[in-house]
Amino acid sequence: MRIISGRFKNKKLYFPKNLNTRPLKDNVRENIFNILKHSTKIDTKIKNSHVMDLYAGIGSFGLECLSRDASEIVFVENNSDALIDLKKNIKNLKVENQSTVFSEDIFDFFKKTDAKKKFDIIFLDPPYSSKGYMKIINFIKKKEIVNKKHILVIHREKDSEKFLDNQLNIIENRIYGRSQIFFGQLF
């Protein structure tokens, strides 16, 4: 695992060797960032953006955003092994002042979150077995934590979600092996 582009290009990332987490593969992450940068349908820019990385794991998405000049990343993760490596990665890249880590259950996090801070990009990468992530989309909508020109990027197992378009305006949708990536905006 490595950072693909930007000021931290080719820096290695720590990641757990167990099978409890599913790190986002480099090639899938690279494709996500190519779409964010080059799609004519997406208005959101990474540079100077405020990003929320939900189910952050080792933080590869958020750290890639920082490498590409995002302003700030909020990471939410509760797996203890992933948290150890997430914190090591943040320290190794010296981005502590641009990173906030919440080590708690995502539902608890959203119950406590206030709507003072607005985000441009929200990345949602729950375990493939998770069914509750649709509730997270509802929390995001209800808490009004996105800017007008926002984008939600959702990583799911291919063919796992049939009703996502009831929650989001799907702008782009791509399949990479077992992975399916949705790019959307809240209605």
The pLDDT of residue 140: 92
* Stated pTM of the model: 0.94
The whole-number mean pLDDT for each consecutive block of 10 residues of the chain, a chain of 187 residues, reads 95 83 83 95 95 96 98 95 96 98 93 84 88 87 92 87 77 90 92
**What CA–CA distance (Å, rounded) separates 147 from 150?**
5
Can you list the domains of the chain with their CATH numbers?
A: 26-186 (3.40.50.150)
**What CA–CA distance (Å, rounded) separates 71 from 121?**
11
The pLDDT of residue 20: 67
Instruction: Taking the CA atoms of 146, 155, 127 and 26 in sequence, report the sign of the dihedral they define.
Output: negative
